[in-house]
Structure 1
Amino acid sequence: MSPQPLVAALARPTGTFAMVAADQRDSLRTLIVEHTGRDRAAIADAELTAFKLSVARELGPHASALLIDREYGYRTLVDQRVLPEGCAPILAVDALEQEPGGPVTDTDLDPTIDLASVVADGTRALKLLIVWRRDAHRERRAALAERFVALCRDAGLASVLEPVARATPEEEAAGTFDLNASIVEAARELAPLRPSLYKCQVPDGGVGTVASIAAQAERIDAVVDVPWVVLSQGVAPTDFPRAVEAACRAGASGFLAGRALWTDALPAADPNPVLRARCAARLRDLGEIVDRHGRPWWDTAAHRAPEEATSR
Structure 2
Amino acid sequence: MELSPGKLWGMRRMADEAGRFKMVAVDQRPPIKNPIREKRGTAEAPYEDVAGFKLMLVAELQRHATAMLLDPHFALPRGFTLLSPRIGLVVTLEDSLFRETDGGRLSAEIDDWSVEKIKRCGGDAVKVLAWYRPDAEASVIAAQKDFAARIGEACARFDIPYVFELLVYPLPGEKNQTSQYIEMADKRADLVLDSVRAFAEPRFGIDLFKVESPVPARAVADGGDAAQAAFDDLGRLCGRPWVMLSAGAGMAEFEAILARAYRAGASGYLAGRAIWAEPFKAFPDWEAIRAGLRATSVPYMERINALTDAQATPWHAHPLFADGVSVPSPDAGFRHAYEGF
Per-residue CA shift, 1:192-242, capped at 9, x if unaligned?
234111011112222232744332111111211111111111422221111
1:30–1:40 Cα contact (<8 Å) kept:
no
Does residue 254 of structure 1 match 2:263? no
Task: Give 1:105 shift.
Answer: 4.7
The 3-state SS of whatever aligns with 1:163 is strand
Measure, in 2, the Cα distance between the counterparts of 1:42 and 1:223. 40
Specify the alignment match of 1:278 in structure 2: 296
Q: Distance in 2 between matches of 1:226 and 1:150?
A: 18
Q: Is the 8 A contact 2:94 2:108 kept in 1?
A: yes
Q: Tell me whether 267-276 or 220-229 shows the greater mean CA deviation.
A: 267-276
TM-score, normalization: structure 2?
0.80
Q: How does 1:121-132 map to 2 (within 5 A)?
A: 121-132=121-132
* CA contact 1:230–1:257 (8 Å) conserved in 2: yes
Size of the alignment, in residue pairs? 304
Give deviations 1:157-192, integer Å, cap 9, x for gaps: 11110111113225548x996521111000000122
Change (3 A) 1:139 1:117: closer
Give a deviation string over 1:259-299, Cα, whole Å, max 9, x none: 00011221331222222332111112111111111111011
Structure 2, unaligned stretches of length 5 or more?
Answer: 177-183, 329-337
User: Which residue does the alignment assign to 2:63?
Assistant: 61
Q: Is the 8 A contact 1:19 1:255 kept in 2?
A: yes
- 1:40-98 per-residue CA deviation (whole Å, 9 max, x = no partner) reads 537312101110011011111111111111111211111x1x12233211110102325
The match for 1:180 is 189
Residue 233 of structure 1 corresponds to which residue in structure 2?
A: 247
Structure 1 consecutive aligned stretches of length 4 or more whose deviation exceeds 6 Å: 304-307
How far apart are 1:148 and its partner, in Å? 1.1
The partner residue of 2:158 within 155, 159, 172 is: 155
8 A Cα contact 1:90 1:123, kept in partner: yes
TM-score where L is the length of structure 1: 0.87
Partner of 1:203: 214
The answer to whether the 8 A contact 2:115-2:151 is kept is no
Question: Aligned partner of 2:209: which letter?
Answer: Y
Distance 2:24 2:67 in 1: 6
C-alpha distance in 2, partners of 1:237/1:18? 15
- By percentage of residues, which structure has more strand? 1
Measure the CA separation in 1 of the matches of 2:45 and 2:185.
Answer: 37
Q: Percent identity?
A: 23
Aligned residue runs from structure 1 range 281-296, under 5 A: 281-296=299-314
Say whether the 8 Å CA contact 2:187–2:215 is kept in structure 1. no
AA at the equivalent of 1:135:
A
Q: 1:177 to 1:168 in 2, by over 3 A?
A: farther
| Distance in 1 between residues matched to 2:120 and 2:151, nearest whole Å | 19
CA distance in 2, matches of 1:44, 1:285: 34
Query: Quick one: distance in 1 between partners of 2:66 and 2:228?
Result: 24
Query: CA-atom RMSD, angstroms?
Result: 3.1
Are the counterparts in 1 of residues 115 and 126 from structure 2 also a CA contact under 8 Å? no
- Partner of residue 76, structure 1: 78
The 1:30/1:179 distance shift into structure 2, 3 A limit, reads farther
Q: Which of these residues, 8, 20, 24, is aligned with residue 12 of structure 2?
A: 8
Q: Which moved more, 1:123-132 or 1:82-91?
A: 82-91
Cα separation, partners in 2 of 1:106 and 1:39, compared to 1, 3 Å:
farther
For 2:209 and 2:244, the matched residues in 1 are separated by 8
| Distance in 2 separating the partners of 1:94 and 1:216 | 28
Q: For residues 216 and 229 of structure 1, what CA distance do their matches in structure 2 show? A: 15
Structure 1: gaps spanning 5 or more residues: none
Greater Rg, structure 1 or structure 2? 2
SS of 1:232's equivalent in the other structure is coil
